[in-house]
Amino acid sequence: MLLFALLLLAVLAVVGLALRRRSTGPVEIELRALWLAPGALLLQLPLVQAWGGAEWRSILFLASYSLLFVFCALNWRYVGVRLLLAGFLLNFVVVAANGGFMPISQDAVARMHPGTTASDWPAGTLRQGSKDVILPADEIRLRLLSDAITVPPPFPLPTTFSAGDLVILAGLAALFWQALATSSAKGDAGQSQVEMNHATQ
């Protein structure tokens, strides 16, 4: 789920760069060091594929979150970024406490795969295409912060969320809302100015 949020953040960064280059007026939302978002995303990809040994994954994990923390520090003035930082910190803590992977319980995995039971998912298995490691519920450290929120079938894309993921999505929503709100306000102001010019002619 964090990878999906990072992908959204990377898209926001690309869109922001494009808008900044095309804009001829002031930009209400001007995120600094936008390249850090896609940079962190790239560092997450080897983690998802579980490439390399534990030491290599630990280095990538720390490097990825370091980029995210720097990005948030540079853009602290935006409420959405503060929410992003809170979500990143929540995920960082639980991942660090569980060996560099986001823990998910065997029961949660079974709920996403109807017809299976917790015993069908061996402890210590890495989930394909994610940074999750399957663990017995009683062995998960900081379980409340783990991928404990499940969206099972019949949802088309069964998935799991952590509390940090939800906070991150709230932060992204706040940034998009502010960008859209300021863009709309500028458009309304421009239209009003045009109408005033016509009225005075």
pLDDT for 194: 43
Per-residue pLDDT of the chain (201 residues; tens, 9 = 90+): 555 555 566 666 666 655 555 555 544 678 899 889 888 888 887 766 666 666 777 788 889 999 999 999 999 999 999 999 999 999 999 999 998 889 999 999 999 899 999 999 999 988 876 778 999 999 999 999 999 999 888 877 778 889 999 899 888 888 878 776 655 445 444 444 444 544 455
Supply the pLDDT for residue 131: 79
Percent of residues, the chain, with pLDDT higher than 90: 39
Q: What is the pLDDT of residue 71?
A: 94
pTM for this structure? 0.77
Look at residue 52 in the predicted model and tell me its pLDDT: 61
Tokens of 139: 């062995």
> Facing residues of 159 across strands?
151
User: Which among 40, 18, 20, 37 is positioned nearest to 29, based on CA atoms?
Assistant: 20
Task: Give 120's DSSP letter.
Answer: G
Would residue 179 count as lying in a domain?
Answer: no
How many angstroms separate the Cα of 104 from the Cα of each of 10, 66, 122, 126, 192? 25, 24, 12, 10, 54
- Residue 159 CA to residue 8 CA, distance in Å, equals 17
Answer yes or no: is 181 within a domain.
Answer: no
CA–CA dist 184, 156 (Å, integer): 34
Residue 96 belongs to a domain:
yes
Give the Cα separation of 92 and 145 in Å (integer).
10
User: What's the whole-number average pLDDT of the chain?
Assistant: 79
CA distance 187 to 177: 15
Q: What is the pLDDT of residue 111?
A: 93
pLDDT in tens, 4-47: 555 566 666 666 655 555 555 544 678 899 889 888 888 887 76
Query: How many domains does the chain divide into?
Result: 1
Bridge partners of 126, per DSSP, are: 133
Position 187 in a domain: no
Identify whether 180 is part of a domain: no
The answer to the question of residue 141 being in a domain is: yes
Is residue 83 one of the residues assigned to a domain? yes
Identify the domain containing residue 155 by its residue range. 2-22+30-173
Asked if residue 182 is part of any domain, the answer here is no
* CA distances to 73, 76, 87, 106 from 70, in Å: 5, 10, 14, 34
